[in-house]
Each structure stands twice: as structure tokens, then as C-alpha cells.
Structure 1
């Protein structure tokens, strides 16, 4: 994303506004910087870009226009790059006044050395990426108390829920695609991204989605026997108003039937205050234990908490809404954290934490990265929102209508 922004500035501020239209003047250091940023975009040299753009403005929608819109929407945006240029483009392009561009030593150098420049830039970018993902995180991984995680046994993680969708109608098989945490008899806290796109379009057919507690694997059949596994259907998904993945990604799901709490299924307290942690917390993950296995099993992993400032430097983004954790799973090919799963911390001092052995739910997993910090959406910062949606409010409709009439009168 960072390189995309850099390249975008190189095109818009450099090739477009500065050199094509001359809307402002730039000193030599800025021109050199914009030339490098422009090269990262890999849209040929700035001289070629300027020539095409000036032709586009001078001969709009004619055969001499490289992006001739009269040849269709696809051609004007992509197709012109896939075919040979029209003869008029070449003919009139040679007659176009480009003296100001060819007199620019920075652009002449870029034109002459373009392939050498992009080769060097590609090498530097790869080396920089390796430095971030290999060196900085590997040194931290050695400080974790466990390297891989422990398989969860029945009753050890009673609040954890796997969220399934029907994928084999013939055999009525369900496969897990997300996770969540029980916070009340008929409420589950999870990730909005499990259910909706950024435009709030459903990702799944909700009548085929099931919430299952007391289950330790990602493949199963719906059962009426509730001694261990409890299967529930979705009634409503409450999402945060400003949801835009991964920001404001919390979701409270109301179920059609409440859980029956026992030794295998129970709720967990969630954070009531916003605070940062420095140490180790526990997240959940799934792992295939056999070669070519279609079934993965539930594991817990100890993850190291990362300070917000350091996380923002590595990810080049704001992490105000998130908690960052480190768990280097690049070598654990079948091992990955579960989106929507809960991040549990212990001895936090949070008023909601009653049992130090149970801990408190402090965040919900939103983004699982490979070789970079994972992002978990904070719960404490939105405690009131979660609490309000965890309570049922029963309203007598007659009384409500009567009150409205009295107020209107």
C-alpha cells in the first residue's frame, strides 16, 4: 500500500501536474525525488508519459489520441496498452513540441537509464521487505514462551465458537470460515468482515450459517445432541456504524436460541476499559495435523504484544483501533490464526476480570498477516457499544404509541 501511494504521487504530482501541465515549479531535489517515485510506478519513462498525455489533450477522441474514448471504455483505459499504436499517434507524436521535456536533465537521465533504474529500485524494495519481515520479527519470536501452540482439549476454551457455512449439501457437511467468543447466553462477539463486505453486502447465505460451541475441528455435521457440541443459527448481526475493514470491525451476533452453559460451553468477560498490554496474551488458531488433511483442529498460541508505535512503523498505517501481536507463522504452513477469534489476556487489572485463570477478552482478531504483526480490534474502547447490544430491551408497543401521542398533543 505504501509503494502504491509513492507511485501514485510520482505519476500525479510528477508526470501529470509538473511535467505535462507545468502547474507548478520544482527545484532539482524535488524533481529527482519525483522522478524516482515516478519510476516505481513502472509506467514507462516520464518523457513517454508526457508525450502520450499531451497528445491525449491536443487530439482528444481522435485517432491521434492514445486513449481514444471513441474506441470504447475498455480500450481507453486498458486496451490501448495491449495493441500497436495507431499510425497517427506516432506521426503527430513526433511533431509535438517536447523541447521543454528534452531540455530537462533529470528526465533525460531517466529516459536513458530507465531499465537500470527500475532494476535497482526492485532490488532495494525486495531487500527492504526482507529486512522488515525476517530480521525484526525473527529476533522477537525467540522471546515467546511457546513456539507453536497447544491443541485445545474439550472444556479448556469453553467460550470459543467456530462459525460454519454449509458447503456440501448432499452430505450436509459444514466447514468453518471464522470464529467468535460467547459473551452472553445468546450473543457472540466476532468480526464483521466474516459476514459483510465494505459495502455491507452479505458474504454468505445467512440461513446456511451455524455457530457451534464445544467443537474443536473445522468440519462437522449439525447434531441435535447438545451434551458437548451446541449448534445455533443466526438471527441478526449488529455491526459498527463506521465499519470499513479492518477498522470498526466488531460484530455482535444474536442467535435464534440461547446457549446451555455447562463444562464445555460458557461465556467469557470482555474488557470494560481501554488499555495497552506489554507481555504475552493468548489467541486461537487452527492447524491441519495430517498431510493433505481437509480438517483442521483448534489450537491456542501465546502471542507477544507489540507497542502501537512500533506496529505502525512496520505496517505503515494507523493502529489506534487495534492491538498488535507477533507470531511468526511463516514456517507453520498449515497453521493460522482464526479471524473473529478472541485475544485473551490475563491479570490485566480490568474490573471485568473476575477469574485470573479465565482472563478477559480484550480484542477480536481482524487481520492475520504472514511475517508481519497481526491486528486485533480493541474491545475495551467499544465496551458500551458491545454491552448495549448484548442486552434485550422489551418495549410495550401500546405504551410507546400512547407516549408518542401524549407528546404530540
Structure 2
């Protein structure tokens, strides 16, 4: 696999802190963590990925305040955001302080149990999605459990320094936000990013589109004058906060309605993807740009939430092994050169995706026959071309890593066919 960028920091947004209101600070690490100075001590949301990054986060906090750590909170249960928890606990112990509370939403425990059970799968998916070399995450995915959990709202502190941890199901069902009622500052965590909501990513389990819209509308109803994103610039001004959150929720509800309309007409997943056009008034605004996810991902997630796995083709109900299918299709094609010539012609016309569909007639077969090898080479090149045509970070990486695997002959092991 291409390792040119493999060792670059993983979702690291920088270092240091930024004060957004008295006693309320962005703490940069894996995404934007958050620090609240309360009358009972410091409340830190997300401890970072561990190692030098987390150490830098600890040092940055100590430039802000010498107050004891009161609580370390999980913004959500995704791997990496709280890998640095032991370093913060050790820091508190070195200062002679009692162990801080380690707080998360109650659903985090269930998520961590699933991640432990599927550890090798999670590791491999992360390597592909984030374009890292095989084995990169072998020692980079520690899981640490909270010591206490809550359901809806948990208040910490009193008076003007009181903050609330609020359940904000969105990217995960265990996501939380932090709200400062006195200063009307919201830290949105995973529910609030500077991109289209991260729903339906190709490797991940279902994410509830309507629930995310519900969360954004609930957060908009708080009346925040500042909203800090997990990634991206802070939203400044009550009207702007309300506009961004309400607009995003409206776009998500529009997607749900459009997909449901198509399903009720009998359309399958691919037919829906071909039909839906995303209106600029909803999807052309800066905070809905598809820089990480993509609106078509959301369409697929909504479709999957109401349908089974069947693609409506009876042939796929009880399929033969993929290797056997690929070989049988290749054997059935008497003029393999014609397939390659037609695929090349499509690519020359700029119809790269169609060229991929055609070349797969040969590229998925086994063996080292010259036409099969050529098909794989062509496919790898066109995958790289597709990577340059899409905005989504995830799509680009999946295309590029798949091309790497094809060129190195490792596609069968990782099911990148």
C-alpha cells in the first residue's frame, strides 16, 4: 500500500487552546476537544489519541489553569478520541489529586464491548478508510471504559460556572454535547462538524438520519450565542447558530422524505442514487460541503434502514463464491480484448465509472492470464482517476487504497474486488 501519507497524524487538528468565553476553551488534539473551568474543577471533553498529542493537550491545559481535574468526558465512543485517558489520570495522580470522574453516555459501554469483539475488523477498516499502512492501528486503538454514565442530562458545578452534559445522538448513539447556560456557549461534539453530517459511511453501521435532525433542532432550541464544532470554525452569533443547525436538520429531513418517496414507488438503491438530485439551496451552503462524507452515503443509509440486504436481483439471493463467479464470467467472454477496448473507450470519453463496471467483467477473476492482469491494472488506474473526481475524504481514500491493493495483488484478502 502507498505509505506516503501513512504516518501523518490521524485526524489531528493542531495543538494548543483557544478561549471562546471566560473559562471555556477549545483544546486541540484529535478533533477539537473542550475544557470548562467550573467551581468544582476542570471538565475536559475528550482526552485525545494518546502519546505526544495527549501530552501536549495536558500541557496546554496547564497553561490555562492550575485547578484540579474534576471530570474527563467522552464526546462519543469512537476509537481514538479517548485513547489518552491513562495519561490524564496519571497527571492527576502526579499532582496528588483524587482520580477525576470519567463520564460518558451509557451507550458507550455497549459500543466498547462491540469494538472489543470486532477489534481486528475495526483495525482493518480504519486502515483502509484513513489510508494507513497495514498494522498501523495495531497498538493505536486502546479502549478505556468510563467510571460513570448518564442518560439525558448531567449537570456539573453551580451558578455561573455550571455546565451541562447533554445526550446528543448523531454520528453515534452515545454522543454528547456540553452546554454552558450562563454564557450560552455550546460544544456540539460529534453532532456538529463543518461538513455534511457523517451519515452512512461505507464501512460503518447504520446511523439514524432523523435522530440526528432531532438532535440538531434540540441544540438549536438552546439559544446558543456560540457553537463550537468538533471539526471546523466556531459558529458566532445566535442567529447564525440557529441557521446552521436548523438548515442542516431540514436538509436531513428532505433526504429522508425523498428516499421514502422513491422506495414507495418501488425504486431500488441504485435507482434512487441515479434519480436524486441534491438542491443547491439545501446542499450548496458551506456547512453542507461533502468534504468527509457525501449526500449519496446518507441516501444509502436511509435506504438500508428500511430494506434488507437484497439488491432485488434474484441471482444474488444464493450466490456462488465470488472467486467462482469472477472466473466463470471471464471464461464466458470469448473476446476479452473487446471488453478491455470498450472499457478503455469509455474511460477516454470521461465515463470512468462506466469503464469500471465494464472492466469488472474481467478484473474480478482469478489467475494471471494477460487480459485479467491488464484488467486489474486498468481498474487500479481508473480508481485513482475516480479519487480525483470526488470531494469526500472517505471516498478518495477507499478508491486509492483499493488501487494500491489491486496493484499489490492483495485484493482477495480484503475483499476489494
Common topology (TM > 0.5): no
TM-score normalized by the length of structure 1: 0.21
Q: Point out the structure with the larger strand share.
A: 1
Bigger proportion of residues as helix? 2
TM-score, scaled to structure 2 = 0.21
